[in-house]
Amino acid sequence: MENSALVGLSGQIALQRELDVIANNIANINTSGYKSDNSVFQEHLMPVARANQFRANDRALSFVQDRATYIDRKEGPIQPTGNDLDVAIKGSGYLSVATPQGTLYTRDGRLHTSADGTLVDSSGRSVLGPDGQPLQLPDQYTDLRIKGDGTVSVRVRGTAQDVGQLGMFRPLDPLALRKTADGLLSVPRGGMQPIDPADTGSRFVQGALEGSTVEPVKEIANMTELSRAYEQLQTLLSDDNDRERKMIQTLGSPT
């Protein structure tokens, strides 16, 4: 394959990857606690093979390389819901949930109770306390309260009682966070630490949810721009292919 085609193809692959990221962001505009993704690309230079590879003026081919996808960690808007089991997180904390793959993390605070009273997330996974244990609410409770430090209290037959505490965790290295297929976040073992309940910079807000950080207008504008760039590269590749075909036909025809 010609060098120009290789360079154009590398650009198309990079654009396709970025389009996939943007499409996923748009699909999660209304997902509670969702953090948008962004792509990072870099120029990859490859020396051009020549008869004398040590010539100082040898040029290099410039390819586009998909370097990484990173998570936008800014806070989303806090949106009141009036539901006592909804919690938003202000600050850099994350809820922890139990999964078959181990403990994973989320900022989606759409909680409810299972049949046995265990506090679970929107997909039925147990929400864990600072000690890594599930929280269970007593039968026939009323007046559920979730304090800023995560303390959960209820009333049972008119008597107030604390039933546990929601765990809030912070990554030691925010860049180590990775999204899983089910929208949760994972970190290497030992990569999360409990946040001190006295830390006023990270608090729970009962009766509210954190909105997605996706900016719809920005994402749609980016998708339009990338689609045009992809089409332009496709046109260049098609023109280059036509040029080669005509050249072959011309050189191969009898004189």
The model's pLDDT over 17-43, given as tens digits with 9 standing for 90+, comes to: 888 888 889 999 999 999 988 876 544
Q: What is the predicted pLDDT for the residue at 167?
A: 95
Q: What is the predicted pLDDT for the residue at 235?
A: 74
Q: What is the mean pLDDT of residues 42-71?
A: 51
Q: What is the predicted pLDDT for the residue at 12?
A: 67
**Does position 238 have pLDDT exceeding 60, yes or no?**
yes
**Does position 158 have pLDDT exceeding 70, yes or no?**
yes
Are both 12 and 132 inside the same structural domain? no
pLDDT tens figures, 71-121? 888 899 999 999 999 999 999 999 999 999 999 999 999 999 999 999 999
Are both 107 and 196 inside the same structural domain? yes
Q: What is the predicted pLDDT for the residue at 40?
A: 66
Tokens of residue 86, six digits:
């909804």
Are both 132 and 186 inside the same structural domain? yes
Q: What is the mean pLDDT of residues 194-200?
A: 90
Are both 43 and 29 inside the same structural domain? yes
Are both 49 and 173 inside the same structural domain? no
Are both 48 and 157 inside the same structural domain? no
Domain holding 162, by residue range, is: 78-210
Are both 237 and 167 inside the same structural domain? no
pLDDT tens figures, 113-149? 999 999 999 999 999 999 999 999 999 899 999 999 9
Identify which has the larger pLDDT, 167 or 158. 167
Are both 84 and 159 inside the same structural domain? yes
Cβ pair 152, 145 in contact under 8 A: yes
**Does position 49 have pLDDT exceeding 50, yes or no?**
no
Identify which has the larger pLDDT, 237 or 81. 81
Q: Which of 70, 103, 92 is nearest to 175 (CA)?
A: 70
- Could you tell me the pLDDT band of residue 3, with boundaries at 50, 70 and 90? low
Residues 6+ apart with CB under 8 A from 105: 94, 95, 96, 97, 169, 177, 184, 185, 186, 187, 192
Measured in Å, how far apart are the chain's first and last C-alpha atoms? 28
pLDDT tens figures, 159-187? 999 999 999 999 999 889 999 978 899 99
Q: What is the predicted pLDDT for the residue at 8?
A: 61
- Could you tell me the pLDDT band of residue 242, with boundaries at 50, 70 and 90? low
Q: What is the mean pLDDT of residues 217-238?
A: 80
For residues 163 and 155, what is the distance between their CA atoms, to the nearest angstrom?
10
Are both 65 and 163 inside the same structural domain? no
Are both 82 and 16 inside the same structural domain? no
Are both 129 and 221 inside the same structural domain? no
Identify which has the larger pLDDT, 69 or 5. 69
Domain count, the chain: 2
Are both 67 and 82 inside the same structural domain? no
